[in-house]
Amino acid sequence: MRPQPHPFAVPPPLPLESTTLSLPYGQRKKLQLSVSGSKAALISARLQGSGKQGTLPSLGILCNNGRRSSVECEQLTKSFADTYYAVFGATVLLGSTITLGLNYVLDVFVPKDDSQQGEGGATGNAELHVMSDEPVALSVIDEVKESDVTGQLL
């Protein structure tokens, strides 16, 4: 039996792994995610901000095997996602399996946080926590400012 990573306890209990990345408000980032251990990894993710109202942050996962394709993952239903954000200020990806030797892309949108607005704009950062049962590597591929994002987000 394998331990199951989940996004509700940060940091997760041992033997689970946790990788954390600070992300500025008002940006959409694409992050490369890959297994750095010796076998496929079960993952979950939590994007924690300081706001609890307004535009929901989003998390999506794609496989980058020559062309980007969707990856099967468990997510909260829209109503649960809305409630979870209103109570905890976070959005979650409940679970997915990433395979050794393939590269994945986490598509992360961190909206501007009106509660953090000052004269200089948003301050601080949101925290992305990726929990896994095997070591994973996470790095920024690119970023897009919120004003450049158009259309429907994941």
Residue 22 has pLDDT above 70, yes or no: yes
| Model pLDDT for residues 120-152, shown as the tens digit of each residue | 444 578 999 999 999 999 988 875 554 444 333
The reported pLDDT for the residue numbered 149 is: 40
| Model pLDDT for residues 64-113, shown as the tens digit of each residue | 776 667 788 888 999 999 999 999 999 999 999 999 988 899 999 998 86
Tell me phi and psi for residue 96, to 5 degrees: -160, 160
Token couple for 24 = 């500025």
CATH number of 20-146: 2.60.120
Written in H, E and C, the secondary structure of 22-62 is EEECCEEEEEEEEECCCCCEEEEEEEECCCCCCCCCEEEEE
Q: Is the dihedral of CA 24, 57, 86, 120 positive or negative?
A: positive
Residue 11 has pLDDT above 70, yes or no: yes
For the entire predicted model, the pTM comes to 0.82
Tell me phi and psi for residue 84, to 5 degrees: -60, -40
The reported pLDDT for the residue numbered 120 is: 44
* Number of Cβ atoms within 10 Å of the Cβ of 35: 22
DSSP 76: -
Strand partners, 117: 122
Where does the pLDDT of residue 40 fall: very low under 50, low under 70, confident under 90, or very high at 90 and above? very high
